[in-house]
Amino acid sequence: MGEKQRIGIIICDRYRSCAGGKCFRAFRERAGAFSVYAEGGAEIAGFTSCGGCPGGNIEYAGEEMVKNGVTTIHLATGLLVGYPPCPSIDHFKRFMEDRYKVNVVIGTHPVPEKYCAIHERLGTWNAPEWAGRLAPAMSDPETRKAYD
């Protein structure tokens, strides 16, 4: 068996008081963007916020997580589903991958169904680039409803 993957999670500062319940649940259930990790093959090793727009904590948090052995950083689903979605999410991903040579995944827990419905009505996720951003955290409708 190989070494465990060490995961860091960065949430949107709008949700800074979030206790991480959906993220930790999804990790336990290997749901959403955590479905790629084998049971027992990964652990969560860091959890923080971006520091607020325009991501004042991204540089520090990424560096600190990597120093402490994090191998993959997940940008939480809240950056996708909040309104408006984070305008810096692609920049955060590119910056951390380039600077820290760490894998960065957009998404954590499955996108809740209620957010799919509102973003569909508003047309928020209609641009082609959204398919790739949403893919790791998108699940079937039943799972999405379970995360409402």
Q: Does residue 1 surpass a pLDDT of 60?
A: no
| Average pLDDT score over residue span 53-76 | 96
Between 2 and 35, the more confident residue is: 35
CA gap 81, 101 in Å, rounded: 26
Residue whose pair of structure tokens reads 């963007």 in the numeric block = 33
Q: Does residue 2 surpass a pLDDT of 70?
A: no
Q: Does residue 121 surpass a pLDDT of 60?
A: yes
Residues 6+ apart with CB under 8 A from 124: 83, 84, 85, 130
Give the distance, in angstroms, between the CA of residue 80 and the centroid of all CA atoms in the same chain. Answer: 8
Q: Could you give all domains of the chain from N- to C-terminal order, each with its CATH number?
A: 5-146 (3.40.50)
Residue 20 confidence class, pLDDT cut points 50, 70, 90: very high
Task: Give the H or E element holding residue 8.
Answer: strand 5-11
Residues 6+ apart with CB under 8 A from 58: 10, 50, 51, 92, 95, 96
- Write out the two tokens for 140: 């079937």
Q: Does residue 50 surpass a pLDDT of 80?
A: yes
45 three-state secondary structure: strand
Residue 68 confidence class, pLDDT cut points 50, 70, 90: very high
